Chain A
Amino acid sequence: MSTTQEEPAIIPDFGDAASEGRKLAIICSKGNLDMAYPGLILANAALGEGVQVDLFFTFWGFDIITKSRMGDLKFTMLGNTATHMPQGLGGLPGMTAVATHQMRRQIREVGVPDVPEFLEQITDSGGHLWACKMSADMMHLDLGDLYERVEGIISAADFIEKTEGAQLLFI
């Protein structure tokens, strides 16, 4: 008589229970093209992993959600040694436009959307966008000036309250 050893079924653990209740708060404080993406990419990745995500746009980060600017963020070589180009070059007229154009092309080539479309994907995935009240007051902007999927203009304290228990990223 022979016996066959049956392997138990291997079923992946998608961690549904573990990720339930996991929250991520991302504070976007920079408005350069290259500094906008890390927050958006991490937000998108976290949403895809079943994590609740709230983004707070403050100071220069306000550009990411300001209608008139969100599609026109720029990248400059100035003060960025990681381009490994002579710093003097970055100050030449037109260099910021050239560098921005180049970076946009590289971003597009890896299949990553531009900022407005990325925010659309993030909110379609369940992400929440919040605007900083102090920044709105300083720049004399109201909800009508902001990307339509921004849920509200709230104070820093409101954001901290909303994201109780969240892991936090400051960018």
Chain B
Amino acid sequence: MPVTTIGATQVHVDSEGFLTDYDEWSEDLARQLAANIGIELTDAHLRVLRFLREDYKEQGETPTLRRVSTVAGIPVRELFTLFPGKPAKKMAYIAGLPKPVGCV
């Protein structure tokens, strides 16, 4: 498992750079991860990330966009604005979680 340095912190990641240890994540680290992919975190981003982390802890898998919109009540449109391009994967990366596996 590769180890990489994000900011000043050493973390375990998979071959693509997604964190593999749930407990190595922090909101400070999230800011660095977001900066790595050109996103500056706001409270709106953090609200999504906190939901992702909580939901992952309860369900054991990363929620899809649909789940974030129906369970957390954050509209899909907003997710595309906050995490442009590939929102589900970008959200998972910044939240320190694996990529979502669900189809919808």
Q: Are A7 and B2 in contact (CB under 8 A)?
A: yes
In the complex, which residues of chain A have a beta carbon less than 8 angstroms from the beta carbon of B3?
7
Distance in Å from the Cβ of A169 to the closest Cβ of chain B?
16
Query: CB of A116 within 8 A of chain B?
Result: no
Q: Are B37 and A41 in contact (CB under 8 A)?
A: no
In the complex, which residues of chain B have a beta carbon less than 8 angstroms from the beta carbon of A110?
104
Q: Are A126 and B80 in contact (CB under 8 A)?
A: yes
Main secondary structure of the interface of B (DSSP, over half): mixed
Size range of the chain B interface in the assembly: 20 to 34
Distance, CA A126 to CA B75, complexed state (A): 13
Main secondary structure of the interface of A (DSSP, over half): loop
> Which residues of A, 1-26, contact B by the 8 Å Cβ criterion?
6-16, 19
Size range of the chain A interface in the assembly: 20 to 34
Query: Nearest B residue to A42 by beta-carbon distance?
Result: B103
Query: CB of B53 within 8 A of chain A?
Result: no
Query: Nearest B residue to A17 by beta-carbon distance?
Result: B85
Q: Which 3 A-B pairs have the closest CB atoms?
A: A10-B17, A50-B85, A124-B76
Q: List 6 A-B contacts (CB under 8 A).
A: A11-B37, A14-B93, A41-B103, A50-B84, A111-B66, A113-B66
